[in-house]
């Protein structure tokens, strides 16, 4: 290597190959020295070298903010600052080494990422963003080149434009890379932390389709596309899930006031942070499966099935997170046993429900005959029969649920004078906690309770 291009000397480290460079800094791979020029068992790091000569007031402030932020944050999906040093010529940031390159190179090598893989990447980015958002930190330069890979783990890097920004803070300075900048930033309007969400949308779009939504041949063309008011559209023939499509379009909303919020983003079903692979996944799965086994032993089939299904939602990411091949395979075999038992329980519960429906049909027919001289009660029972018929045919849950509610409402009015009113009201309130298919069964149960307890 020519003397003019030799990496700088740094105490306790040997700088080797250059990994990349920008306006203000050059990044090298380096090794920590062990003893006197001994490099056995050496630790690999990345060293960001910033020349003092290139720094103006703004870039110096950015560098100091970057150091301050990285000194205080510790997160599995954020590159760690191990140390920083300086001499008469340079400032050195000693950073965690990520051997897998960056997300941009990974996307190019695959051309496009399967939705499953893109979702796993998104979950890790979202996890890091949630951590930063809770501390009022905005990255402001999110792009695939600034997301590094260490094994299967993604880590946000390059906090050179990052800022402490409360939700109500606004800025106007141009920061980041144009291809990933939110429209309000490119158009030099006031912007806030929501620009990070736009950048996440661009990254997800690029991961799924191999190019950014505003990919252009020149900056002028890029600026024209960004300034346009035309809504973002997915490529024709795009095959993505409904949740993925919904999230993409809500992230890539030009108007920041209409864009998905951070809270909505973290709770979005496609992001699903609750079930992302993590060190906690296996513990959550084991706790749920123990409850499932207990319910199974007690003969509570529906409850056991529900718990087995919940456990499997954590077992799958736990398998993904496990790195030891033997433990991964043992875990996979165990999960297959739980899947088999869940399938058996599903068949048993379906059989139980069929018997329950048959019994309910017979009961309704008897009660309808007994209510011929009570028009209001008769009408309520007939509405209930319609609801049950819809449920048996697999009709839309919400329509069926509305019929159950209408029936129970009429029954409660008809029974307002009875001593059962308080008990019935409590039972109805309790069953309204969740609007899903299980509610229909709860309402039917409440209906049976009402009818069997008022007739002599």
Question: Using alpha carbons only, what angle is made at residue 222 by residues 217 and 227, rounded to the nearest 5 degrees?
Answer: 160
* 48 belongs to an annotated ligand binding site: yes
Catalytic residue, chosen from 12, 102, 141, 272, is: 141
Of the candidates 105, 101, 96, 103, the residue with the CA atom closest to the CA atom of residue 30: 96
What secondary structure, in 3-state letters, does 362-429 show? HHHHHHHHHCCCCHHHHHHHHHHHHHHHHHHCCCCHHHHHHHHHHHHHHHHHHCCCCCCHHHHHHHHH
* Contact between residue 95 and residue 47 where contact means Cβ atoms under 8 Å apart: yes
The question of whether 40 is a catalytic residue gets the answer: no
Task: Please tell me the chain's helix, strand, coil percentages from 3-state DSSP, rounded to the nearest 5.
Answer: 55, 10, 30
Interatomic CA distance for residues 163 and 38, integer angstroms: 40
Q: How many helices (H) and strands (E) does the chain have?
A: 15, 9
Burial of 85 (0-12, 13-18, 19+ CB in 10 A): middle
Instruction: Tell me the torsion sign for CA atoms 221, 224, 226, 230.
Output: negative
The annotated binding site is made up of: 48
- Return the active site residues: 141
The annotated binding site for ATP is made up of: 48
């Amino acid at each position: 290597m020519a003397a003019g291009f030799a990496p700088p000397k740094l105490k306790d480290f040997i700088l080797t190959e250059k990994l990349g460079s920008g306006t203000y800094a050059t990044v090298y791979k380096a090794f920590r020295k062990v003893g006197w020029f001994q490099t056995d068992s050496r630790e690999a790091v990345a060293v960001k070298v910033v020349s003092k000569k290139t720094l103006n007031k703004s870039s110096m402030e950015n560098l100091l903010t970057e150091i301050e932020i990285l000194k205080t944050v510790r997160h599995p999906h954020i590159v760690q600052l191990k140390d920083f040093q300086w001499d008469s010529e340079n400032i050195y940031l000693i950073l965690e080494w990520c051997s897998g390159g960056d997300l941009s190179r990974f996307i190019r090598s695959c051309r496009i990422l399967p939705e499953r893989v893109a979702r796993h990447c998104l979950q890790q980015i979202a996890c890091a963003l949630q951590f930063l958002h809770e501390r009022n930190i905005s990255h402001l330069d999110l792009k695939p080149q600034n997301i590094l890979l260490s094994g299967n783990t993604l880590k946000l890097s390059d906090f050179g434009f990052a800022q402490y920004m409360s939700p109500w803070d606004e800025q106007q300075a141009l920061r980041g890379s144009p291809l990933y900048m939110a429209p309000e930033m490119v158009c030099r309007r006031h912007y806030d932390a929501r620009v990070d969400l736009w950048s996440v949308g661009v990254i997800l779009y690029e991961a799924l389709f191999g190019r950014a939504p505003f990919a252009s041949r020149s900056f002028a063309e890029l600026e024209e596309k960004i300034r346009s008011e035309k809504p973002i559209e997915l490529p024709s023939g795009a095959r993505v899930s409904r949740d993925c499509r919904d999230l993409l379009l809500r992230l890539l909303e030009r108007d920041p006031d209409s864009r998905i919020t951070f809270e909505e983003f973290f709770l979005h079903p496609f992001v699903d942070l609750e079930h992302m692979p993590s060190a906690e996944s296996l513990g959550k799965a084991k706790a749920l499966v123990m409850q499932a086994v207990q319910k199974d032993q007690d003969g509570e089939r529906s409850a056991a099935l529900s718990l087995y299904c919940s456990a499997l939602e954590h077992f799958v990411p736990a398998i993904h997170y496990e790195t030891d091949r033997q433990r991964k395979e043992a875990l996979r075999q165990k999960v297959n046993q739980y899947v088999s038992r869940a399938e058996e329980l599903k068949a048993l519960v379906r059989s139980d429900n069929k018997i329950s429906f048959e019994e309910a049909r017979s009961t309704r027919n008897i009660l309808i005959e007994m209510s011929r001289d009570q028009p209001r009660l008769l009408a309520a029972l007939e509405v209930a029969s319609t609801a049950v018929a819809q449920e048996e045919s697999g009709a839309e849950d919400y329509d069926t649920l509305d019929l159950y509610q209408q029936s129970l409402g009429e029954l409660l009015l008809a029974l307002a004078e009875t001593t059962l009113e308080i008990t019935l009201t409590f039972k109805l309130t309790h069953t309204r906690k969740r609007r899903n298919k299980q509610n229909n069964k709860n309402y039917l149960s409440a209906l049976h309770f009402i009818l069997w307890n008022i007739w002599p």
